[in-house]
Structures are given as C-alpha cells and as structure tokens.
C-alpha cells in the first residue's frame, strides 16, 4: 500500500508524527505538574477558610502566606496548566487529523522552548513572593519585571504554533485541492486564531504599559486602561480553555462512545461563531468599573448573550451524538438511553461528568454577564464558584479524561488502574458540586472572593455553615486528585508495556462536511468580520480612556 501511495504522488508526504507526539507528551506533563502544585494551594485555602492554618508551618516555602498561595493557585491552574495542555493537545490533534506533521519541526520545538523559558522566568519571582499580584496582576500592584516578561513569553510562544498551523494547513490544502479541512484540524486552527487575536490586549498591556513601568523606565501607569486591555484577552481566554475540551467532545467522544457526531456543519458554524463572538465581550468583567461608560458595558453584555447561542448549539450537537451512541448500544426511551452510555470507560465518563457540571457553570456565567444582575455577584465568591465549574471542571476534568486514553496512546503503557480511573470523575463531581454550590451561596450572602476569610474580622455567622460544606467538597476533590495523580504516576512508571500502542480515530459524522457551506472554511473572511466587530466594540472606549489618561499612577508593593 505504502509503495502505491508513494508512486501516486510526485513527493511522498511524511506522516511521521513522532515530534508532535513528543511535544504533546512534554507539554501535557508540564501542565499536570503545574496543576498539582496549584491544586495543593487550593486545599490550603479552603482549610484556612475554616480556621485551619497551614500557612504558618509552610512559611519557609511560602513566605507570602495565603495571598502568595492564591496567586500561585491562579497562575499555575488557569495560565500554566491550561496553556501548556492546550498547546500540546492541539499540536497533536491538528497534525493527527491532517495526517501530516507540522510544516516546521524546528518552529514546533521553538514554541516549547519559548514557553518553558517564560514559565521559568515567571516562576522565580512568583515563588520568591515578589509577584503576589494574582493572575490578573492589576496595576498599580507591581510585581518583579521578570513575572511580566515570563508570562509574555509564554503567550508569545503560543503564537508560533498558530504560524506553524497556518503553513501546514496551506500545504495540506495545496495537496488536497477542493477538500474540506477535517473537522478536528479546522477546530484547532479556529481556536488558535481566536486566541491569538485576543492576545493583542494582554500583549499591549505588557509591552506598552506594565513591562516598561515595572522596569522603572516610566514612572506611572493607568489602571483602567490596563484592566481594559487585560479583559480584552481575559474573556476570550476562557474560550481558549473551553474550545479544546469541545474539540474532544465533538470529534473524539462520539467515536469513543461507539457513535457518530450528529452534525459536522453545525459544529463548524458554532466554532466560527465562537471566533467572532468570544472576542468583543471582555468588558462584562468591568461592569462595576468607573471610567467606562455604561452604554459600552451594555453592548458587551448583549454580545455575551450572543455567545450563549453557539454554546447551546454545542450542547445540542454533543448530546445528540451521545444519544445516537447510546441508542446503538441498545438504549431506549426518552431519557433511559443515558444508562446505555459507556459509563465504565473513564475517558468517556470523565467528560460526560464534566459536561453535566458545565451546564450549571454556564447558567451562573449568564448571571455574571447580565449587566445589572452582576452587581449582586461581582467579586464575591459566587465568581469563584462559577469558574470552578467551568475551567475547574468542564475544562480540567475533560483534560483529565482525555489523558486516560491519550497517555496509553502516547506511551504504549496500559492504564495502571481502571478502577481508580472510573471512580475519580465521580469524586470530582461530588466534591466540586458541593464546593462550587456553597461558594455560590456564600457569594450571594456577600462573602468577597480572593480574601483571607480565615483572618477577616467581619465573617458572618451564616457564612460558617456554608464554609464547612465547601471544605468537605474541597477535601473530596483532593481525594479525586490523589486518585488521578497516583494512577498517572503508576502508569508512567509501572504501567504494563503494550505490544502495540492503542491507536485512535476521529468520529465520523451523521451529517458530514459535504453539507456545510464552503465559506465556513474561508477563515480569512471570518477573521475580518471578527476584527470589525472587535474594533467597533473596543476602539471608542480605549480612545476615551486614552483621552483622559495621565499615566502618573505609581506602582505599589503592598504584600
């Protein structure tokens, strides 16, 4: 077969993905190492909220106590874990679906090295308590310049993957004239396009405001401009986290569950809508900011409701695909088919459990985006409850579920314990369900987020009851995490070597790409539309801030 294929084409195209496999493995390893440390910080926090102080004994390691731990928790979990995992996962999914390696393996290695350099640079001040500014690093809080330079390098590294993807896809299109980009590759490149456009915000904040200011080259900064640029990236970043989980739900889970994707065209439409609508909505994080007009806050709220639409399309398409799989497995009835899903496969059950909790996270997210309703919840622990369901479960638990098949695939080692892997998602479900429910409740009762509640003089009696249940949830989650890490470490070190590593294929679609309008694959058109809406939604506010900015606010080290 191989020789016929080679003769049919003038130049044989390599299908060797060994570099991509290595990169996926290294990136995902770094990601989960970061999550282990970040997650541990979370355990310290919920214990402290209930009066159990482990910060005093850990003073030599964590001189900044609660707030340093919280900064590490945020930076490692939502910046490092997510970004490294996504870059590794998309590198592999993209090339596997095109069945060809990235155009430049040197550029692919450079992506990793730039990101790792950035991570090391940012980690130095972070661990030395010289960057206790949270992962949002709002000026005038002023960290060591290395922290900002490091994070900027991590982001810049991700741009290199997009460049590599574009060159690779163009070459693929040239070799396969008239063919549709396979759905997993299409979704991967749309995700990276959306992310890269969104990073214009935080990159400008870093390069023009924060880095020169932290190096002492300029005396002051403008906090509202910095916040606006941060959230320019800060909302799309949540879709950067979510879309790779969606890629798994759309293109892998249906196949692994024994079925097919319901609709390829609907999936393409939803990703194009994510590209356009994830970007111009960051100001719904700034509903309570002075210095930004309420009209633009309302416009951003309206567009945020717009993103709800592709989210619902995704929900429908993925659930319909699962239903199809369950019915093929003998499922019947309106809802009884749910029991015919392959619950014994941890890679599937983890992701279905993640979807179930995500439904609640989506609903509380709508509350956050709802303009004046945001006044009830802004900066309360409701928000922490919300994103522990979204990034903390929909994303994290899906990423864990993926590793249950991806690690054996990449390493050729059998998963060490299937039993632990089957139990782990359900423990996460119960633990996170309790934790986030009670964080939402506490938020409604006015408990602020990002606050050392264990040391606060104003703790209300009614909070204590809820805090206790949040602690129980947190501890169950901790057990779930131990199950996960124990299983992964044992798989990597003791897992039975398989004669042949298990391969995988992407889901076929009931309604395939031939039913999708061709224009959906013309990415430049959609990028142009996204750019126009982005300009309309941001330029007036940024000009307005610039027209009154004095750039004279000095930095502070207040920890």
Told to judge if 300 belongs to the known catalytic residues of this protein, a careful annotator would answer no
Q: Which CB atom, from 309 or from 468, has the smaller least distance to another protein?
A: 309
**Which of residues 313, 318, 471, 509 is near another protein by CB under 8 A?**
313
Question: Would you count residue 289 as binding another protein (CB under 8 A)?
Answer: yes
Give the list of residues 6+ apart from residue 188 with CB closer than 8 angstroms, or none: 90, 93, 94, 97, 165, 244, 247
Q: How far is residue 328's CA from residue 257's CA, in Å, rounded to a whole number?
A: 10
Told to judge if 450 belongs to the known catalytic residues of this protein, a careful annotator would answer yes
Question: Would you count residue 378 as binding another protein (CB under 8 A)?
Answer: yes
Told to judge if 449 belongs to the known catalytic residues of this protein, a careful annotator would answer yes
Told to judge if 388 belongs to the known catalytic residues of this protein, a careful annotator would answer yes
Question: Would you count residue 374 as binding another protein (CB under 8 A)?
Answer: yes
Question: Would you count residue 291 as binding another protein (CB under 8 A)?
Answer: yes
Active-site residue identified among 73, 100, 169, 235: 235
Preceding amide of 287 cis, omega within 30: no
Question: Would you count residue 288 as binding another protein (CB under 8 A)?
Answer: yes
347 neighbors 404 (Cβ within 8 angstroms): yes
**Which of residues 376, 422, 475, 490 is near another protein by CB under 8 A?**
376
Question: Would you count residue 108 as binding another protein (CB under 8 A)?
Answer: no
Give the list of residues 6+ apart from residue 39 with CB closer than 8 angstroms, or none: 73, 77, 478, 481
Instruction: Give the interface segment with another protein, choosing from 10-18, 112-120, 282-290, 497-505 (CB under 8 A).
Output: 282-290
Residues 432-471 that bind another protein (CB under 8 A): 445-446, 448-453, 455-458, 460
Least distance CB 314 / another protein (angstroms): 10
Question: Would you count residue 424 as binding another protein (CB under 8 A)?
Answer: no
Measured CA to CA in angstroms, residue 173 lies from 97, 346, 394 at distances of 13, 36, 33
Question: Would you count residue 320 as binding another protein (CB under 8 A)?
Answer: yes
Count of residues near another protein by CB under 8 A: 71
**Which of residues 110, 127, 338, 366 is near another protein by CB under 8 A?**
366
SS3 letters across 88-113: HHHHHHHHHHHCCCCCCHHHHHHHHH
Residues 251-280 that bind another protein (CB under 8 A): 262-263, 266
Active-site residue identified among 100, 285, 386, 409: 386
Q: Which CB atom, from 263 or from 364, has the smaller least distance to another protein?
A: 263
Active-site residue identified among 232, 250, 387, 429: 387
Question: Would you count residue 373 as binding another protein (CB under 8 A)?
Answer: yes
**Which of residues 293, 356, 465, 514 is near another protein by CB under 8 A?**
293
**Which of residues 115, 119, 242, 287 is near another protein by CB under 8 A?**
287
Q: How far is residue 152's CA from residue 230's CA, in Å, rounded to a whole number?
A: 12
Q: Which tokens go with 93?
A: 């999914």
Question: Would you count residue 512 as binding another protein (CB under 8 A)?
Answer: no
Question: Would you count residue 53 as binding another protein (CB under 8 A)?
Answer: no
Q: Which CB atom, from 238 or from 397, has the smaller least distance to another protein?
A: 238
Q: How far is residue 211's CA from residue 196's CA, in Å, rounded to a whole number?
A: 20
Residues 7-36 that bind another protein (CB under 8 A): none
Give the list of residues 6+ apart from residue 169 with CB closer than 8 angstroms, or none: 98, 181, 185, 189
| 127-156 footprint of another protein as x/- string (CB under 8 A) | -------x---x-xx---------------
Residue 497 main-chain phi, psi, to 5 deg: -70, 125
Residue with tokens 């398989």: 498
Which spans in 50-144 are helix H? 65-74, 82-98, 105-127
Crossing angle of the two packed helices 418-444 and 381-389, in degrees rounded to 10: 150
CA geometry: angle 359, 240, 21, nearest 5 deg: 110
Residues 188-247 that bind another protein (CB under 8 A): 222-224, 227
Least distance CB 323 / another protein (angstroms): 10
250 neighbors 267 (Cβ within 8 angstroms): yes
Active-site residue identified among 316, 450, 469, 485: 450
Q: Which CB atom, from 23 or from 273, has the smaller least distance to another protein?
A: 273
Separate counts of helices (H) and strands (E) for the chain: 20, 2
Q: How far is residue 161's CA from residue 14's CA, in Å, rounded to a whole number?
A: 19
**Number of residues that this document lists for the chain:** 559
Q: Which CB atom, from 375 or from 498, has the smaller least distance to another protein?
A: 375
Active-site residue identified among 239, 271, 429, 478: 239
Instruction: Give the interface segment with another protein, choosing from 24-32, 65-73, 174-182, 398-406 (CB under 8 A).
Output: 65-73
Least distance CB 322 / another protein (angstroms): 14
77 neighbors 152 (Cβ within 8 angstroms): no
Told to judge if 387 belongs to the known catalytic residues of this protein, a careful annotator would answer yes
Question: Would you count residue 77 as binding another protein (CB under 8 A)?
Answer: no
Q: How far is residue 241's CA from residue 244's CA, in Å, rounded to a whole number?
A: 6
Active-site residue identified among 21, 48, 388, 409: 388
Strand segments (E) across 219-287:
261-263
Strand segments (E) across 9-83:
none
Q: How far is residue 436's CA from residue 383's CA, in Å, rounded to a whole number?
A: 9
**Which of residues 33, 110, 166, 510 is near another protein by CB under 8 A?**
510
Residue 388 CB neighbour total at 10 angstroms = 23
407 neighbors 386 (Cβ within 8 angstroms): no
Q: Which CB atom, from 297 or from 409, has the smaller least distance to another protein?
A: 297
Residue positions annotated with a catalytic role: 235, 239, 386-388, 449-450
């Amino acid at each position: 077969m191989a020789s016929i294929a080679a003769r049919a084409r003038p130049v044989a195209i390599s299908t060797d993905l060994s570099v991509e496999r290595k990169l996926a493995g290294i990136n995902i390893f770094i990601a989960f190492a970061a999550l282990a440390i970040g997650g541990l910080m979370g355990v310290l926090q919920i214990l402290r909220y209930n009066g159990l102080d482990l910060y005093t004994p850990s003073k030599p390691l964590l001189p900044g106590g609660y707030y340093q731990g919280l900064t590490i928790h945020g930076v490692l979990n939502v910046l490092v874990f997510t970004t490294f995992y996504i870059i590794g996962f998309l590198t592999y999914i993209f090339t596997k679906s095109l069945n060809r390696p990235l155009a430049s393996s040197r550029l692919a290695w450079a992506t990793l090295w730039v990101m790792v350099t950035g991570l090391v640079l940012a980690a130095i001040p972070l661990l030395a308590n010289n960057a206790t500014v949270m992962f949002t690093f709002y000026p005038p809080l002023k960290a060591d310049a290395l922290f900002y330079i490091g994070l900027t390098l991590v982001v810049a590294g991700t741009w290199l993957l997009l460049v590599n993807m574009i060159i690779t896809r163009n070459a693929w299109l040239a070799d396969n004239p008239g063919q549709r980009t396979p759905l997993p590759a299409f979704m991967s490149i749309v995700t990276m396009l959306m992310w890269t456009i969104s990073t214009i915000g935080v990159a400008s904040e870093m390069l023009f405001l924060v880095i020169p200011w932290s190096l002492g080259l300029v005396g002051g900064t403008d906090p509202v401009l910095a916040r606006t640029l941060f959230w320019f990236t800060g909302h799309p970043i949540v879709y950067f986290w979510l879309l790779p989980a969606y890629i798994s739900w759309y293109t892998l889970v249906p196949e692994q569950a024994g079925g097919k994707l319901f609709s390829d065209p609907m999936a393409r439409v939803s990703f194009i809508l994510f590209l356009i609508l994830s970007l111009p909505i960051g100001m719904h994080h700034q509903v309570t900011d002075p210095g930004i007009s309420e009209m633009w806050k309302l416009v951003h709220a309206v567009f945020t409701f717009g993103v709800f639409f592709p989210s619902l399309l995704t929900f429908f398409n993925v659930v319909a695909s699962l239903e199809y799989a369950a019915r093929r497995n003998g499922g019947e009835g309106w809802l009884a088919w749910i029991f015919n899903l392959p619950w014994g496969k941890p890679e599937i059950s983890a992701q279905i459990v993640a979807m179930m909790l995500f439904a609640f996270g989506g609903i509380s997210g709508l509350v956050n985006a709802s303009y004046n309703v945001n006044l009830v919840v802004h900066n309360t622990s409701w928000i922490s409850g919300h994103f522990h369901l979204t990034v903390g479960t929909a994303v994290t638990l899906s990423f864990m579920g993926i590793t249950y098949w991806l690690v054996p695939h990449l390493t050729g080692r059998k998963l060490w314990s299937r039993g632990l892997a089957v139990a782990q998602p359900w423990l996460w479900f119960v633990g996170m369900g309790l934790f986030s429910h009670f964080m939402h409740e506490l938020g409604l009762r006015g408990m602020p987020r990002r606050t050392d509640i264990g040391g606060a003089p104003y703790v209300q009696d009614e909070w204590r009851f809820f805090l206790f249940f949040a602690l129980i949830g947190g501890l169950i989650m901790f057990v779930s995490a131990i199950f996960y890490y124990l299983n992964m470490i044992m798989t990597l070190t003791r897992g039975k070597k398989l004669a042949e590593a298990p391969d995988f294929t992407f889901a076929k679609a009931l309604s395939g790409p031939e039913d999708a309008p061709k224009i959906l694959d013309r990415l430049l058109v959609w990028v142009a539309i996204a750019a126009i809406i982005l300009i309309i939604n941001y330029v007036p506010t940024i000009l307005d801030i610039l027209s009154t900015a004095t750039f004279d606010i000095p930095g502070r080290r207040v920890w």
